[in-house]
């Protein structure tokens, strides 16, 4: 198990979710949210789904941030457990 931790691939497994989080947030806030607001005319109508967009955006960010904290904790535990 210690050789797995020392491999460079382990760092990719640790930091890849961070990159996915940044990409998902950029796509969500700069592409999908404006598209949904345009399609449902959120600026001129009172469609009930328009009020849910910030809720879904915040839920996505909360889930991704929670996931990152969990992954950082696990990475820290691996590094502490298997250090020389």
Q: Which two tokens stand for residue 1?
A: 């198990």
Kindly give, in sequence order, each residue whose CB lies less than 8 Å from that of residue 4, ignoring residues fewer than 6 positions away: 10
Question: pTM for the complete prediction?
Answer: 0.44
CA distance 18 to 22: 6
Kindly give, in sequence order, each residue whose CB lies less than 8 Å from that of residue 42, ignoring residues fewer than 6 positions away: 36, 50, 53
Identify the pLDDT of residue 35.
Answer: 80
Give the domain ranges of the chain: 2-81
Positive/negative CA dihedral, 76, 78, 23, 58: negative
Walking along the chain (84 residues) 10 residues at a time, the average pLDDT comes out as 59 72 78 75 67 76 76 80 71
């Amino acid at each position: 198990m210690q050789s797995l931790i020392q491999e460079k691939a382990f760092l990719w497994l640790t930091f890849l979710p961070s990159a996915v989080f940044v990409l998902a947030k950029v796509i969500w806030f700069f592409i999908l949210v404006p598209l949904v607001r345009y399609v449902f005319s959120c600026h001129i109508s009172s469609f009930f789904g328009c009020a849910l967009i910030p809720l879904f955006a915040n839920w996505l960010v909360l889930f991704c941030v929670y996931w990152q904290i969990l992954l950082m904790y696990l990475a820290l535990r691996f590094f502490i457990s298997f250090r020389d």
